[in-house]
Amino acid sequence: MSTMPVGGLVPQATENPADLVVRNAKIHTGDPSRPAAQAIAVRDGRVLEVGDDHDMAGRIGPATRVVDALGRRVVPGLNDSHLHVIRGGLNYVLELRWDGVRSLRDGLALLREQAARTPKGQWVRVVGGWSAEQFAERRLPTVAELNAAAPDTPVFVLHLYQSAVLNRAALKAAGFDRDTPDLRGGQIVRGRDGEPTGMLLAAPSALILYSTLAKAPVLDGEDKKTSTRHFLRELNRFGLTSAIDAAGGFQNFPDHYATVVELAKAGQLSLRIAYHLFPQTAGQEIADLTRWIGTVRPEDGDEWLRLNGAGENLTWAAADFENFTQPRPQLAADYETEFEKAVRLLMENGWGFRLHATYDETIRRDLAVFERLAAEGLFPAGNRWLFDHAETVTEDSLDRIAALGGALSVQNRLSFQGEAFVRRYGVGAAADAPPIRAMLERGLTVGGGTDATRVSTYNPWVALHWLVSGRSVGDLLLRPPSNRVDRRTALAMFTQAGADLTGEQDVKGILRPGYLGDFTVLTGDYFSVPEPEIAHIESLLTVVGGRVVYAAGEYEGLDEELPPVSPAWSPVAHFGGYRAADPSRRGGVRQAELIGEAVGEADEHLRWRTRQGLASGQENGVFDPCVSL
């Protein structure tokens, strides 16, 4: 078994040797009884001992893998409490990621190169994990730019849950023409001639965006497994060892869950997944829930794959949409009738749930249903339940959630949509979106998550940076110090709170003997790096149950081998996933971003002057008195 050579350690025959020892580390355990340590030993997937380097001498046998952390920070494995990991894995290798790309120019260059690599009949798709605000140009690509980059290959670029940009070839492949009707809650933007321009708008429902994306080709069975394994490895790259899958639209049970089930049976998951079930068909929700209740039960499974309940929708009519470029959606006046039937059914059968609820108006209506059931003794009946998102939840609603034994999971959606939120609701509302400190002050469990992959990036350190700094990826300050959390609290939201939300608080979330051996060695010390650098942290070594599932830098080669990315033309095979900035050049990157912003402002100024009749629009902006006559 490969290992890093560590001088001065002689393997000894012991009765209880560790499978893995990591030493010479700065370990943050999350355990109040022993918050810090230098070394950790794992045996049979569980933490065997946490202590100082000298405590490990009796744990090292001939077969023990010993890793020197070289003084680096080690933290418990991260747990994303709201990640669409199952859906993301099925599509990962088909997607060109703009996560972390700092200019639209670079993004279009990637797209142009990928279009040249993509075979006929396949699409280039940029689907989530980025925002126009992260680009130096501060804008979306135009249809003309997509047509120029890929004249013949269909290109679909999704921007949050707000819009999508399609080139000519994608409009043709999707079957859009002047006679195509708009979907309810969405708009196909049309030109003067009535033909689709290539812009799709969620108004406010994202159904038009998802249904269009669903027209693109999908992977076959083996490639789905390979894609999922590579996506899990990409998550391991950032220190993720667990995730709670929030299900979502176009994720049918059991069909779309089959891949992770097969990987779990083969022992090939590198991330622990607790999943939810989401009724997909409006009007059929009660029938779906009834069928599932007779088939599976919450907590069926094991430490790698387990059912955690229903949601994040129970009935479609009760779901609000989080497109902050549009007004808050008005939900049906009578959605509570079917919604109460769904909640009653779950409570009577021992099922917990999670609920997508962006706005306090929705949360108040849902709470009224729960309080009626509580008066009958049916809620929460010992079942775990939580609200997701809750950007505009009020303190009164938080008090009611606490009284009903609920919890929350918040995501950094405003990292990517903060500017839109401010434009619609103002800086005052953004300062409390969501009111994280008020949640924690009430003793509520508050999990941290990303809501990747369709809006936010799956990189949890971007979310941790948002929790600590209150800033968007465009560097807009959204939340004041009074509604931010310190680094230890933010980390606990991404470790211990996630374990609480799946009822696993006694086996994971902290590093303590008997707990799962899940932890990560970081590229930078999370507790001391400058605040902007939090977003750039990655893992050098990720361990799940004592298995090294990701290794980089000095540890490269210690992790498990994966099959090559398939198909070979995959964007991931060529470009990889998240685009991390070179640490040595971040200052220069930011300088270039500022220059790009200035150029963009200059161009916009010229366009304004042209509209006002103050310029012809033909100026090239060049005047050199040294060479002009």
Architecture per CATH, domain 221-510, reads as Alpha-Beta Barrel (3.20)
Q: Provide the pLDDT for residue 618.
A: 47
CA–CA distance from 49 to each of 21, 28, 42 (Å)? 9, 14, 7
SS3 147: helix
Q: Average the pLDDT over each of 126-130, 545-549, 615-619 and give the range with the smallest value.
A: 615-619
624: pLDDT strictly greater than 50? no
Catalogue the long-range contacts made by 265-269 (C-beta closer than 8 Å, 24 or more residues apart). Answer: 268/225, 268/229, 269/232, 269/304, 269/305
Q: Provide the pLDDT for residue 428.
A: 97
Distance CA 371, CA 349 (A): 18
Q: Provide the pLDDT for residue 2.
A: 45
Q: Provide the pLDDT for residue 592.
A: 47
Confidence class for position 393, pLDDT limits 50, 70, 90: very high
- The neighbouring-strand residues paired with 354 are 386
Distance CA 525, CA 374 (A): 46
Residue pair 381/358 in contact by the 8 Å Cβ criterion: no
Q: Provide the pLDDT for residue 603.
A: 53
Q: Provide the pLDDT for residue 626.
A: 36
User: In this predicted model, what pLDDT tens digit does every residue of 281-303 receive, in sequence order?
Assistant: 999 999 999 999 999 999 889 99
User: In this predicted model, what pLDDT tens digit does every residue of 315-352 receive, in sequence order?
Assistant: 999 999 888 998 998 999 999 999 999 999 999 999 99
Distance CA 95, CA 91 (A): 7
Mean pLDDT of 541-547: 98
- The DSSP line for 81-111 is EEE-HHHHHHHGGGB---TT---HHHHHHHH
In the CATH hierarchy, which top-level class contains the domain 94-214?
alpha beta
Q: What average pLDDT is seen over the chain?
A: 92
Distance CA 396, CA 211 (A): 37
Q: Provide the pLDDT for residue 249.
A: 81
Distance CA 378, CA 437 (A): 30
569: pLDDT strictly greater than 50? yes
CA–CA distance from 283 to each of 219, 332, 347, 573 (Å)? 30, 14, 20, 41
Residue ranges of domains in the chain: 20-76+523-569, 94-214, 221-510
Instruction: List strands edge to edge, sheet with 407-411.
Output: 78-83, 240-245, 272-277, 305-310, 353-357, 385-389, 407-411, 446-449
User: In this predicted model, what pLDDT tens digit does every residue of 243-255 receive, in sequence order?
Assistant: 999 998 878 898 9
Confidence class for position 629, pLDDT limits 50, 70, 90: very low
165: pLDDT strictly greater than 80? yes
Q: Provide the pLDDT for residue 4.
A: 56
Confidence class for position 146, pLDDT limits 50, 70, 90: very high
Q: Which residue has the higher pLDDT, 211 or 625?
A: 211
CA–CA distance from 593 to each of 136, 141, 257, 502, 534 (Å)? 4, 17, 41, 41, 19
SS3 40: strand
Q: Provide the pLDDT for residue 560.
A: 94
Mean pLDDT of 3-27: 78
Token reading at 151: 């004249």
Q: Which helix (H) or strand (E) holds 306?
A: strand 305-310
Q: Provide the pLDDT for residue 427.
A: 97
C-alpha closest to that of 45 among 507, 492, 498: 507
Distance CA 406, CA 408 (A): 7
Mean pLDDT of 127-132: 95
Distance CA 60, CA 22 (A): 11
Q: Provide the pLDDT for residue 625.
A: 32
Any idea what DSSP says for residue 594?
A: H
117: pLDDT strictly greater than 60? yes
Distance CA 177, CA 188 (A): 10
Q: Provide the pLDDT for residue 161.
A: 87
Residue ranges of the alpha helices (H) in 474-565?
Answer: 487-493, 496-501
In one letter, which amino acid is 364? R
512: pLDDT strictly greater than 90? yes
- Strand-strand pairing, 407-411 and 446-449: parallel
CA–CA distance from 376 to each of 347, 370, 379, 573 (Å)? 12, 10, 8, 56
Architecture per CATH, domain 20-76+523-569, reads as Roll (2.30)
Confidence class for position 623, pLDDT limits 50, 70, 90: very low
Mean pLDDT of 44-53: 97
Buried b (16+ CB within 10 A) or exposed e, 375-406: eeeebbbebbbbbbbbbbbbeebbebbeeebb
- Strongest mean pLDDT among 2-6, 66-70, 584-588: 66-70
204: pLDDT strictly greater than 90? no
Q: Provide the pLDDT for residue 466.
A: 98
Mean pLDDT of 170-190: 95
Q: Considering the chain, what percentage of its residues have pLDDT values greater than 90?
A: 84
CA–CA distance from 149 to each of 131, 145, 172, 262 (Å)? 20, 6, 17, 39
Distance CA 570, CA 339 (A): 42
Largest CA distance in the chain: 91
Distance CA 354, CA 312 (A): 5
